Structure 1
Amino acid sequence: MFSRFPNLNRSQRQPSRQRSNISSRFSSRGKDAFAIQRDLAEILTACRFYVELYLDGSKDGVDGLFMECKGFKVSQEVVEFTEVFPEPWGKAKRGMLYTSKLPGAKTTIDNISLRRGLSGSETLWNWLNAVQEGDWAKQRRNGSIAVYRQNGDIGALFQFENAWPISYSVTDNTASSSELACEELEMACEVFKRISPP
């Protein structure tokens, strides 16, 4: 069955069932052992995050706070192919089919959406407008998204590169509504990766 993978041994073809002995990592009572245990135990909350995005005309270089940030997804293309082998298949003496899945060359990065309360700032709109007017090459921006621990330290840090806006929307206004008016910006980016916090 594995003749088409001559360079892979059995441990490489199948997921390992071995489990590391985590307790051995904390056998010492030093500061590093407790730091590792803290990192593994704490689950980060979705409400404590910060978006760093430098735009033209932004106050202090960063344009306000965002209420919602979504679209963190990177997916790998899957190439699937089927091979026929001279092995029994049901009542047939040969013709067994084996399907393999391999990673392809294409990586897809979803668009990132930023949502915040509508204010007098026109920075997000001006960013989109500059791209629409043909100045898109100079409007690409790098930024980061930090998710914080309860003690205020950065627990997870994501970086996006060469981002540019593709859509801008404002929530519907209703006289009977008590909700905040919000604006939402969707941007495409070429690189999205997780990096180690400073």
Structure 2
Amino acid sequence: MAELKPIPTSRFYIEFDGLTEKMVASVGEITFEGEISGQDKPFSASKYTMNYWQSTAGRQNNPNISIEVYLVKGDMDWYTWYKRCMPSSEGGSGYWGLYRKSGSLTAYNSSDKAVLQWNIKNAWPQSYSVSDLAADGNEFVKETYDIVCEDIERVNPASFF
């Protein structure tokens, strides 16, 4: 029987096209949910009063990821990506379709072996925020980006093989 070893939440790496080797503080839970339609009522009836039901599954919305990165002097890569994707009416470039990125989130065990991986397709930042600043604070400044993705798929990392 295989030995069960929990995977630590503190050992991970996330990257997107052109966004590598960044100081990422955290990756919020990956969320998306399915939608079932057609289950509320029968769609047809036949001889002998037999009703036919149909349920169709699909995705209700695109998956989302919340990513916190440390604000590092001189590094504008995440923010530049965000600005390129925002509508021009909001102060951005308005080219979200051109600047979608693919990437991956990899989790490692305590021996630095990749044990989980999610492939992320056609992602773009939807919102941006900066952590609080306080005269009596002792934390590092972080930027938070909420990322919308067309698809996220869990796969076996290459190091499994």
TM-score, length of structure 2 as denominator length: 0.77
Instruction: Name the counterpart of 1:127.
Output: 81
Q: Equivalent of 2:70, from 113, 117, 134?
A: 117
Identity of aligned residues (%): 23
Q: Distance in 1 between matches of 2:143 and 2:25?
A: 10
Give the number of aligned pairs.
Answer: 140
Aligned to 1:191: 151
Alignment partner of 1:124: what SS?
helix
Q: Which of 129, 139, 143 is the equivalent residue of 1:179? A: 139
Larger helix proportion of the pair:
1
Residue 76 to residue 103, structure 1, CA distance change in 2 (3 Å): farther
Query: CA 1:63/1:153 → structure 2, altered by over 3 Å: closer, same or farther?
Result: closer
Q: Quick one: higher RCO (CA 8 Å, sep 6+), 1 or 2?
A: 2
Q: Which residue of 2 aligns with 1:15?
A: none
The equivalent of 1:69 in structure 2 is 27
- SS of the aligned residue for 1:185 comes to strand
The answer on whether the counterparts of 1:51 and 1:65 sit within 8 Å (CA) in structure 2 is no
Larger radius of gyration: 1
Instruction: Give the structure 1 partner of residue 17 of structure 2.
Output: 54
* Alignment of structure 1 residues 2-151 onto 2, 5 Å: 26=1, 37-38=2-3, 41-55=4-18, 62-79=20-37, 80-81=39-40, 102-120=55-73, 121-131=75-85, 132-151=92-111
**Runs of 5+ unmatched residues, structure 1:** 1-25, 27-36, 84-99
Q: CA deviation at 1:119?
A: 1.3
Q: Deviations over 1:59-111 (max 9, x none)?
A: xxx1512110013123211333257xxxxxxxxxxxxxxxx994523343332
- Segments of 5+ residues of structure 2 without an aligned counterpart are 43-52, 86-91
Structure 1: how far apart are the matches of 2:157 and 2:98?
28
Where 1:179 maps in the other structure, the secondary structure is coil
